[in-house]
């Protein structure tokens, strides 16, 4: 059974006339008749009652037309959905990002991008670095914003920005009023940190190593908000990424003078994998915004 046979059958059923249907379909009337005959032979039943060139559906034809109409409608919708996806002005982009970028980088970029491409849709996924990289490798997302994936050889990563890591302390802490602090001064303080399986945890423990001490850890968390909440509850102090919209009652933010406290955020994709025209537009926009600015 071929797609054209279903279209031919639907047209004949609608017009109830082989010659008129052949004209609409731009084929010869004998060719149309042969196609319908092959379809009936394959189904094992006649579909029409014939009165010369005029035809009408029989019981079998009515049942089959109902299904054909639904099938053609579904396939037409599917074709339109695909066209929307590949349309550079109406497609979609699937984007993953680490938690700390959900309040600054991603909203800012998408807001700017949608000024030029208002009809492009985004499917967003927020997770820790390793998991969004797994999604990227599996083809579940087009791009992700994350720190550098050193162990992912098949992933292309390009630096976008440098994110400062700051110290947060309870409002009543002796260093709460300071503008800067040397991290080594805090070697005896209790710290709330991030789990080492997180890229942020790896970065922060590397900073401790550069400062020359191992922190006294009271808790290892996964979310910036959780860590900040525990600091506000006076369970310790912490290093977190500086987030523009981040504010919480009961804590103070202090810049670290030494060692250099920062991490690099970039965009990653799998080189050579097909991406839609809409995704290409977004990639070019991001690179122009950061790399070529």
At 256-285, the pLDDT tens digits run 999 999 989 999 999 888 888 888 999 999
DSSP 150: T
Q: Given pLDDT bands bounded at 50, 70 and 90, which one contains residue 130? A: confident
pLDDT of 30 over the 80 cut: yes
Q: Given pLDDT bands bounded at 50, 70 and 90, which one contains residue 292? A: low
The whole-number pLDDT of residue 84 equals 66
Instruction: Report H helices in the chain.
Output: 3-15, 18-25, 29-43, 59-86, 105-116, 129-137, 199-211, 224-232, 277-290
The whole-number pLDDT of residue 75 equals 86
Q: How does pLDDT run across 172-230, given as a tens digit for each residue?
A: 999 999 999 999 999 999 999 999 888 889 899 999 999 999 999 999 988 888 899 99
Average pLDDT, the chain: 88
Work out the angle at residue 254's Cα, subtended by the Cα atoms of residues 253 and 260, and round it to the nearest 5 degrees. Answer: 125
More confident residue, 80 or 67: 67
pLDDT of 85 over the 80 cut: no
Helix axes 277-290, 59-86, angle to 10 degrees: 10
pLDDT of 53 over the 70 cut: no
The whole-number pLDDT of residue 60 equals 93
pLDDT of 247 over the 70 cut: no
Neighbours of 175 (CB within 10 A): 16
More confident residue, 73 or 206: 206
The whole-number pLDDT of residue 234 equals 93
Tokens matching residue 174? 């002796």
pTM of the predicted structure, to 2 decimals: 0.66
Contact 262, 101 (CB under 8 A): no
DSSP 243: -
CB contact set of 27 (below 8 Å; sequence gap of 6+): 8
Q: What is the mean pLDDT of residues 37-61?
A: 88
The whole-number pLDDT of residue 186 equals 95
Q: Given pLDDT bands bounded at 50, 70 and 90, which one contains residue 77? A: confident
The whole-number pLDDT of residue 245 equals 57
Backbone angles phi, psi at 251, to 5 degrees: -130, 160
d(CA 205, CA 191): 11
Lowest mean pLDDT among 45-54, 66-75, 78-87: 78-87
* Best CA proximity match to 260, nearest among 244, 239, 243: 239
The percent of residues in the chain predicted with pLDDT above 90, rounded, is 48
More confident residue, 130 or 46: 46
Tokens matching residue 170? 């309870």
Contact 86, 58 (CB under 8 A): no
Q: Which domains does the chain have, with CATH numbers?
A: 3-86 (1.10.10.10), 92-293 (3.40.190.290)
Tokens matching residue 76? 């037409």
pLDDT of 80 over the 70 cut: no
């Amino acid at each position: 059974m071929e797609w054209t046979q279903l279209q031919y059958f639907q047209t004949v059923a609608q017009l109830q006339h082989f010659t008129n249907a052949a004209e609409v379909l731009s084929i010869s009337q004998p060719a149309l008749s042969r196609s319908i005959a092959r379809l009936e032979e394959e189904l094992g039943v006649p579909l029409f009652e014939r009165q010369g060139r005029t035809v009408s559906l029989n019981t079998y034809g009515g049942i089959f037309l109902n299904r054909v109409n639904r099938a053609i409608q579904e396939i037409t919708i599917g074709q339109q959905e695909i066209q929307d996806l590949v349309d550079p002005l109406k497609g979609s982009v699937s984007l993953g990002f680490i938690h700390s970028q959900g309040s600054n980088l991603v909203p800012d970029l998408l807001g700017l991008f949608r000024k030029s491409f208002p009809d492009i849709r985004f499917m967003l996924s927020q997770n820790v670095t390793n998991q969004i990289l797994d999604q990227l490798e599996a083809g579940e997302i087009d791009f992700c914003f994350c720190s550098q994936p050193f162990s992912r050889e098949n992933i292309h990563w390009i630096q976008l920005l440098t994110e400062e890591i700051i110290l947060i302390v309870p409002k009543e802490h002796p260093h709460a009023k300071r503008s800067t602090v040397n991290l080594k001064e805090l070697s005896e303080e209790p710290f709330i940190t991030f789990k080492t399986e997180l890229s942020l945890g790896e970065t922060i423990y590397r900073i401790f190593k550069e400062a020359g001490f191992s922190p006294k850890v009271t808790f290892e968390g996964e979310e910036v908000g959780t860590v900040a909440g525990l600091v506000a509850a006076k369970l310790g102090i912490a290093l977190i990424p500086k987030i523009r919209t981040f504010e919480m009652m009961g804590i103070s933010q202090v810049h670290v003078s030494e060692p250099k406290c920062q991490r690099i955020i970039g965009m990653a994709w799998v080189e050579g994998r097909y991406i839609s025209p809409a995704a290409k537009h977004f990639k070019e926009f991001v690179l122009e915004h950061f790399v070529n600015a």
